[in-house]
Structure 1
């Protein structure tokens, strides 16, 4: 979680004001909307790690890196990983993996949209891919993932992860 979050926060920090309106591979969001989504993800998963309530998304504030630090601090406590989330009814380890997928994939989304280099942690990608392959149908039913995009069987793990959730690894703005 830490390495994936730090890499995504680095991408967010490098987004320029004039890039906020750019399209992203995540069809629902332009760059500003996607950063706002990440702000909400960080706030939500901080609350969930503390066995707190599901929080609603607020307006864009531009403070994702700070929120992400608070989320990581909440997940650094051993009790964050125990049991089931009262707010979500899912095992805490499942929620941690959901957060990881968001960090890896949305980091790629933002980097691709803004022309930045993005080299996610290989272990984070492998974990996110394994989790996603097991949860993809539920993710599609809930609208989190789109239809799969075909990628070669020997594609890099990040490309396979992107394809599984409905992103085209060759997407360009």
Structure 2
């Protein structure tokens, strides 16, 4: 918890800033996350925040709803739920994973979907190196499971000496060279 919460917080704050800066005129723009346009991606982020808030409180699985326009507020509640020490204890009853694994899943979502949104809307984005390192290590361990569960796409080949962030994108199925 002590090393993950600061990473989760800063990644969430970066992504919240990106969401706040998206004008409605860009809602129909494509994103590197092929199943979502910009509005769909923000809706997905709202669901991620709501789901992980519930999971952090040992609550039930939450279904994705419609766009509400409140991602930053939901994300603040998520961080509040994970800031409680007991959120990190044990295994979650919904996915059957250790709570630390769920925290890493959330971090991956914030870091990668932040990039998705930034490149889709032409915003600058520089993820925190430590968050990228943690997300990459976790994603490499979980890649096959992620693909089986449909949360990662087919791996995109990137050079072995590519920056860590490009390797993270490739592992989860994103092309680091994607442009709108």
CA deviations 1:99-151 (Å, max 9, x no partner) are: 11000000000000000000111111100000000000000001111111111
Aligned: 1:150 with 2:157: yes
Aligned residues: 173
The structure 1 residue matched to 2:92, chosen from 85, 88, 111, is 85
Aligned: 1:35 with 2:42: yes
CA distance in 2, matches of 1:65, 1:157: 27
SS at match of 1:56: coil
Q: CA deviation at 1:88?
A: 2.0
Runs of at least 5 residues in structure 2 that lack an aligned partner in the other structure: 1-7
The structure 2 residue matched to 1:3, chosen from 2, 7, 10, is 10
Q: CA RMSD in A?
A: 0.6
The TM-score, its normalising length taken from structure 1, stands at 0.99
The structure 2 residue matched to 1:139, chosen from 128, 140, 146, is 146
CA distance in 2, matches of 1:166, 1:74: 29
SS at match of 1:117: coil
Q: CA deviation at 1:94?
A: 0.6
SS at match of 2:175: coil
1:68 is matched with which residue? Answer: 75
